A and B are shown apart, each in its own frame.
Chain A
Amino acid sequence: MEEVKPQLVKITFDGIEVEVEPGTTIMQAARKIAEADPSQSGLVPPAMCYYKPLPTSGGKCRACLVKVAQGSAKDPRPMPKLVPSCITQVQEGMVVENTTNQGVLDTRKSIVEFLLINHPLDCPICDQAGECHLQDFAFEHGSVKTRYEEDRRTFDKIDIGPFIQLHMTRCILCYRCVYTADQITNKRVHGVMNRGDASEISTYIEKAIDNDFSGNVIDVCPVGALTDKTFRFKNRVWFTKPEDAHRDCDKCSGKVTLWYRGEEVIRVTARKNTWGEVNDFICNTCRFDKKKTTDWVLEGPTKVKRSSVISANKYRADLVKKPDFSLKLAASQFKPIDDRREYVTDEETIRHQSIENNDKANHRSLLAKNN
């Protein structure tokens, strides 16, 4: 029998036409554009809570809100409110505005502000710095100053088992870890307690999260709220060198990334794709117990580009135009991060340069150049 291919849906995203399968979300359509042409990766809406491997995630952080200027070819009316691109499905003839709409950029700026008002901004002592989605999001879309003068919400650190540290103060309540537990374990033992800005991720009566796949919540956490105790304060992410490796594991696929400092494996994580999403969830044995090179079959340096603001040298003095204080700071303290993998070139930093401070004009000229 011949396979019937579904009719593709054509949408326009920031002036670029793309054809996707019906049922695709706006976010996935935008990612398709970026995957076809990496220079357009600045168009993709940021995702703080949405995580493709977790089908129930998304819609909560509101970072990916976009304007639908035309609902569909049949019903060309614009949608009255901004819609979350991660869970809104495309319609034939839909016209979506993301970086070309000032309202969207303003809203995104305010979302950064909302997410940061109760965030401790302790990046200098946070293990997640360098691969933190909130750090990247704030750098790309936020403003320099804060208008928040009140006390920040704080929590005590909670011990949830021998391998994972929960530092709720940093949490942005994306619910990813909750959905991870729902998806890969039979019985979830942690969840969200309380409500409003007092809500916190916690286990019921200080119970440890104890199952073979508990370590994956560390990988899905976009911020430094859930960190690996075996890696805590060992090193900065940007000084480590990722290598893909695998081993025969009876519990998981065994495909991991080893993070080297010199000759020593100081951390093992699941492999992530360009969007920071885990390809295969890995078991705790692979993650926490196998920290010798001899345990693994090496495959060579990780192919996925590092895109975080620190790892990709975004704080280099000549690249940071604004804000002034970072310029000074960067100029006085900048040391280039030694990452000898050849694909890290200045070309890739253009993405951040272009959307920095919502510099639309710059972005448009970039679009023109690429078209």
Chain B
Amino acid sequence: MARKILTEHINVPGIETFDVYRKQGGYTAVEKALKTMTPEEVVEEAKKSGVRGRGGAGFPMGMKWGFLAKPEGVPRYLVCNADESEPGTFKDHHLMKSIPHLLIEGMIISSFALGANKSFIYVRGELLYVVRILEQAIEEAKAQGFLGKNILGTGYDLELVVQPGGGAYICGEETALLESLEGKRGNPRNKPPFPAVKGLYQSPTVVNNVESIANMSWIINNGGEEYAKIGIGRSTGTKLISASGHINKPGVYEIELGVSVEEFLNSDEYCGGVRKGHHLKALVAGGSSVPILPAHLIMKTANGEDRLMSYESLSDGGFATGTMLGSGGFIVFDETACIVRNTWNFSRFYHHESCGQCSPCREGTGWMEKILHRIEHGHGSMHDVDLLVDISKKIEGNTICPLGDAAAWPVASAIRHFRDEFVWHITHPQEATRPGAVYQGEMALV
């Protein structure tokens, strides 16, 4: 059995209540951090652990904390990004609803480390019942003296606020999240200034993902160095993977980073293999925004090495032959899946979720969606394929926030690896538009 950090006690009955969570060793990390450590020491532990942002970008959390500006007389804020809305990713949802106190505990420790006296959890608007669960957990923690004024008699005050969003994907981008939290339209801000200097209400702010923060209690209990021993290379610790698609056991799995993709996909401990009688055709390893890879490239890198579930191994080969770990949305496609239809579906999502602030993303996402819709419905023409590649190139890197990149990558990678399938849709419109029809040409299945 692989080591579990976040989900160790997740199946204990009643773990969502304070008493059961406390019995399982909960809140000892808060006691340890607040009573025996200074904020600097907590930040140091986070740095030692090497834990990387679990929201998608993979930026080391300790380093992010280190960038926080600390001017005198200005409040600092910690904001937890629980606006998880990437297609294929549902790990934070699972964590928050099953074991809310883990997040609350992490928030207390992290806020203490950053010197924040008011912290926010920005929850995706659709997950209103999770907001209730978190608020209930906060009430319990407050009643036990772990939140509010003078926590555990240490003189440290913390108020924790749960804020539901309005249900926009773009509000998961950290500066758009801050705008939304301030009560404005959720448009991403231009950077610089970065949130670490001017964030929420123009004060220094750190925005971290749920899973990153939830790791903190284990790190404090066991030490950052111990955490860094788990995992492989610079991908330390464990990661929650949301597995979905044509597999036998979809769900949220906690893996030690460095497990091979093949093991994760096929072992009974995790996904349990592609559904019976079918073969793997393609795989999205990190949520809908990362490049899709065909079966042969996801199992082995271009150099023939085993592909591992780690930040480095998945991005091996760049975008030509690699992908990204992203937020850990593991979507599996077997040979019955139509890549064109799937790309159109992703593209439709990004078109719908673009905030419309900067022109390449506002106009480009809609344009790509319309072209893909045409190809999928048998009205494509041959120059559309190259046009799509060109549009995606023109969007990528020219937008304010990464949503433009996220919209461009799936389209560009699908055409890079499955060009024949697009061409087949264009040259055989009648066959391609028949219900359930899928390209049967030459493709590498595993």
**Chain A interfacial positions (CB closer than 8 Å to B):** 58-63, 65, 81-82, 84, 87, 107, 110-111, 113-115, 117-118, 147-148, 150, 153, 172-173, 175, 191-192, 194-199
Contacts and interface: CB of A to CB of B under 8 A. Distances in A.
B360 A114 contact: yes
B310 to A, nearest CB: 24
Given A173-B356, A199-B362, A150 B367 contact: yes
Contacts of B362: 114, 173, 196-197, 199
Contact of A62 (B353, B359, B367, B371): B359
B366 A60 contact: no
A157 to B, nearest CB: 20
Nearest to A194: B356
A299 B398 CA distance: 45
Interface in B361-405: 362-367, 370-371, 374, 387, 394, 397-400
Nearest 3 A-B pairs (CB), nearest first?
A199-B356, A110-B394, A59-B190
Contacts, number: 88
Interface of B: 168, 170, 185, 190, 351-360, 362-367, 370-371, 374, 387, 394, 397-400
Given A61-B358, A82-B398, A147-B387, A196 B351 contact: yes
B430 to A, nearest CB: 21
18 contacts: A59-B190, A60-B400, A62-B360, A81-B397, A107-B394, A110-B398, A111-B359, A114-B359, A115-B359, A117-B367, A172-B359, A173-B359, A192-B356, A195-B355, A196-B353, A196-B354, A196-B355, A197-B351
A84 B399 CA distance: 10
B370 A150 contact: yes
Given A194-B356, A195-B353, A197-B354, 4 more contacts: A150-B370, A173-B356, A196-B366, A197-B362
A117 B363 contact: yes
Nearest to B366: A197
A295 B138 CA distance: 67
Contacts of B374: 150
Nearest to B169: A195
B99 to A, nearest CB: 33
Nearest to A147: B387
B353 A59 contact: no
Contacts of A118: 363, 366
Contacts of A191: 185
B83 to A, nearest CB: 15
A115 B366 CA distance: 12
B388 to A, nearest CB: 11
B375 to A, nearest CB: 12
A118 B356 CA distance: 13
Contacts of B365: 196-197
Contacts of B355: 195-196, 199
Given A192-B185, A195-B168, A82 B356 contact: no
Given A82-B398, A150-B367, A197 B356 contact: yes
Contacts of A110: 360, 394, 398
B19 to A, nearest CB: 44
Contacts of A84: 190
B400 A196 contact: no
Given A81-B397, A115-B359, A195 B170 contact: yes
A150 B371 contact: yes
Given A114-B394, A173-B362, A196-B365, A60 B357 contact: yes
Given A197-B351, A197-B362, A65 B357 contact: no
> Which of A114, A175, A199 has its CB near the most chain B CB atoms (within 10 A)?
A114
Contacts of A114: 359-360, 362-364, 367, 394
Nearest to B379: A149
A191 B356 CA distance: 13
Contact of B400 (A59, A63, A111): A59
Contacts of B352: 196
> Which of B353, B358, B359, B394 has its CB near the most chain A CB atoms (within 10 A)?
B359
A86 to B, nearest CB: 10
A60 B387 contact: no
B348 to A, nearest CB: 11
A148 B367 contact: yes
Nearest to B370: A150
Contact of B190 (A87, A148, A153, A196): A87
Given A59-B190, A150-B371, A197 B363 contact: yes
A49 to B, nearest CB: 9
Nearest to A172: B359
Contacts of A107: 394, 398
A62 B358 contact: yes
A113 B390 CA distance: 12
Contacts of A150: 367, 370-371, 374
